[in-house]
Structure 1
């Protein structure tokens, strides 16, 4: 068992935050699944921009798509990447089956240009879900107000969702409210709950990058981990308590927290900080290639997420006492994240125009 495989007994699953045709065709993704226990894949506009711009395997298909002048740039982009999502889903299908549909998911994001458009998000999510046509696909939606409303509807419809760009506890709670409401509505409709899977992607390194300059040295590099621990405590209250009991009895799954943005941006910190510090049951960590390699090389697997909870809440109180408004920071970080994804998506559409 390598260091990544050693995480699995603690109840956490590691997903890969990367996808390309090269990764699939070379057999590398299959190797990561077999050797490292990778249990899912996430993608985003920046990941696909890099893939399409640098991987020669896309160019022939792109030329044929451009020859069809009736297609929009976005339609060409979707035609390029949906087969990649399908291929990754198929590689993970055995895990999806052997885990009783708990693992083996692949995320595809709706256009970030729809972040504040509920109807547009719903239409895009339904189109992508139908286009991928794999039960272990997961549609990725940003956790804006419009996105959260769409998430509730999609949960009622039985669509798997990765709701993303979460940076604060109020944002996470709003997402869980929508998930539970969607499940209750689906249950009232008399429809099954057992095969619905959703995750809540909580972003880490960007939190510390924003807040560290506002904090004394003793508090720097610690806020994101402390917030994650607080969110995990709240997760257990909501999904392992009375509130969710009836839905769980009807077959519903909890909406796991997924740790995202886990590549360490500050070189003064450990390159496995956002993996080692947050290993715990009923969670997912999606890691970029470099972080995956770093943990494989020198990471230590231990049950860290539920440890030192009192210290985490104490640190958050000290951060607030230092003048930091964590909720306002979360709103800024989400807006900044949307801008980054918007820019990446614009660049993608320029490639496919």
Structure 2
């Protein structure tokens, strides 16, 4: 049986207690729940606490190596606390998402805003470079949370990760593109991104450095990272839109036939 992901209210991104309470409730809905919560400062705390309480987390609103490492360390703390108390961890399958397409999106916005002169084709490798650097760290440190790639923008976001012990959530439209492509299905996860591409982005784009280096940001900086702000704004707007739809059912417009 696969996992069913369900998202905590993105409006709680600064409230650890509210995230944990909702996550624990969602975890009671079925035996195969995977609860999504944002990798903000409060979210990192919530990930540890939720893991401790037996919730399989899916860390989301995550775009960078420092966010992924913070998630992995939080999950390890939560799992170790459970194990120390004799609680079962055998069914724990936590994942940490890196929204690689949104990493690309933000790097492109940052380049445009700051007037940085760089080959625009390089920017399509930003998320892949971040993900592969995180994966290298995972192999070195043996974290128990699995990396997950999401937010596809081009087929390289699939093909460059083939062969890795990772999760790919591929939407239907992208499944069609993958199946219709002539890209050979061969192992590429261990192939590093061209050093010239990584080095030039690292030298010229501060927000790529922040995303690529495991120490590129402190946890307190996660909430203000551009990709985080952009994504939270989108997710919170969607909550308001959904509330509006529900409100129209509860209070139909009396002026309309």
TM-score normalised according to structure 2 size: 0.82
Q: Are 1:223 and 2:109 counterparts?
A: no
Give how far 1:314 is off.
Answer: 5.5
Question: 1:287 is matched with which residue?
Answer: 170
1:177 aligns to 2:73 (yes or no): yes
Give, in whole Å, the separation in 2 of the partners of 1:143 and 1:305. Answer: 24
CA distance in 2, matches of 1:327, 1:346: 34
In the alignment, does 2:156 pair up with 1:273? yes
Instruction: Pick closer, same or farther for the CA change 1:109–1:210 going to 2, 3 Å.
Output: same
- Give the count of matched residue pairs: 227
Instruction: Provide the aligned C-alpha RMSD in A.
Output: 1.8
Partner of 2:6: 108
Deviation readout 1:226-273 (Å, 9 max, x if unpaired): 11110110111121xxxx6xxxxxxxxx211100101x1xxxxxx412
Q: CA deviation at 1:320?
A: 1.9
C-alpha separation in 1, matches of 2:41 and 2:179:
38
Residues 258 and 286 in structure 1, CA contact (< 8 A), matched pair in contact too: yes
Deviates more, 1:314-323 or 1:343-352: 314-323
**Equivalent pair of 1:169/1:327 in contact (CA under 8 Å):** no
SS in 2 for 1:116: coil
Task: Choose which of 140, 155, 169 in structure 2 pairs with 1:237.
Answer: 140
Give the corresponding residue for 1:303: 187
Counterpart Cα distance in 2 of 1:109 and 1:228:
22
Which structure 2 residues correspond to residues 322-341 of structure 1 after superposition, within 5 A? 322-326=204-208, 331-341=225-235
Instruction: Measure the CA separation in 1 of the matches of 2:24 and 2:189.
Output: 35
Q: Which whole-Å CA distance do the structure 1 matches of 2:11 and 2:194 have between them? A: 36
Q: Write out aligned runs for 1:20-99 (5 A).
A: 93=1
Deviation at 1:187, TM superposition (A): 0.8
Question: Following TM superposition, by how much is the alpha carbon of 1:162 offset from its aligned partner in structure 2, in angstroms?
Answer: 0.4
Equivalent residues of 1:114, 1:121 under 8 A apart:
yes
Q: Which SS does the other structure have where 2:37 is aligned?
A: strand
Specify the alignment match of 2:26 in structure 1.
128
Gaps of 5+ in 1: 1-92, 94-103, 245-253, 265-270
Kept in 2: contact 1:168–1:327 (CA 8 A): no
The equivalent residue for 2:218 is none
Q: Distance in 1 between matches of 2:194 and 2:71?
A: 22
| TM-score, with length taken from structure 1 | 0.61
**Correspondence for 2:199:** 317
For CA contacts below 8 A with separation 6 or more, give which structure has more relative contact order.
1
Structure 2 alignment gaps of length 5 or more: 212-221, 248-257
